[in-house]
Amino acid sequence: MDKFIMKKILLCLLLALSISGYAQVSWNVKAGANLSKETNSNVDMKLGYQLGVGMDYYFNEHWGIQSSLTLITKGYKSKGNYYYPAEWNSDLSKYDKTENRIYLGLPIALAYKFRISNNFKLVFHGGGYMSYGIGGKYKNKVIAKDNTSDTYKYNTFSSYSGTEKFDVGLSAGTTLEYLNKYTVGVIGEWGLKRTLATDTRNHTYGINIGYKF
């Protein structure tokens, strides 16, 4: 029994050494812009940004795992009319809402890389993400029939807003690498967790540039 266990341990060590022989680790920094909105609601996309520091670990020439720590903004914009009951003695007023959500995120993805030419490589990656809300502002400007207005502001993740801090979802993207140093990528993130009590979720699409070292 002891010999069997020793053989198993030795086999695991040899396997680890063989994998490490192919392993390639690189670090990167990325920055870019994104568009985000809430699903299942009548809202418009909001422009935001993304910043990140990441690590790529490749088992061989093609397959690897990507992970990063990102600062990303999400949210939505919305314009429209409020309609009130007749007894309120007011037909309607206009609103202009913006909610900015700042998250600290941790995406993890399985990546497949292949060579296009001596200078260019293309990477496809997909997986999931977890993120935690650390800040942001909600603003709603209400304009009455007589053109007077009031602006309401509060913190995005306050108890008053009801917006959930924790978010989790799926992610996917494509990255073009040049000279194993410079990158241009597109990403998509699709939230699986409700952001509010209603059935709304974060959807985000972005583009970024980066540098590997």
Calpha distance 52→14 (Å, rounded): 35
Residues contacting residue 24 through CB under 8 Å, at least 6 positions apart: 56, 57, 58, 64
Strands 202-212 and 182-191, by their bridges, are: antiparallel
As a whole number, mean pLDDT of residues 197-203 equals: 87
Exposure b/e, 93-108, CB count within 10 A at least 16 = b? bebebbbbbbbebbbe
As a whole number, mean pLDDT of residues 79-100 equals: 73
pLDDT of residue 2: 52
pLDDT band at 92 (very low <50, low <70, confident <90, very high): low
- Range of lowest pLDDT (73-77, 80-84, 103-107): 80-84
Q: Which tens digit of pLDDT belongs to each residue from 126-182? A: 999 999 999 999 999 888 777 788 888 989 998 777 889 999 999 999 999 999 999
pLDDT of residue 103: 98
Q: Which tens digit of pLDDT belongs to each residue from 41-66? A: 789 999 999 999 999 999 899 999 99
pLDDT band at 37 (very low <50, low <70, confident <90, very high): very high
Identify any residues that bridge with 55 across adjacent strands, giving them in sequence order: 27, 67
Where do we find the tokens 């980066």? 210
pLDDT of residue 162: 82
Do you know the residue count of the chain?
Answer: 213
pLDDT of residue 161: 77
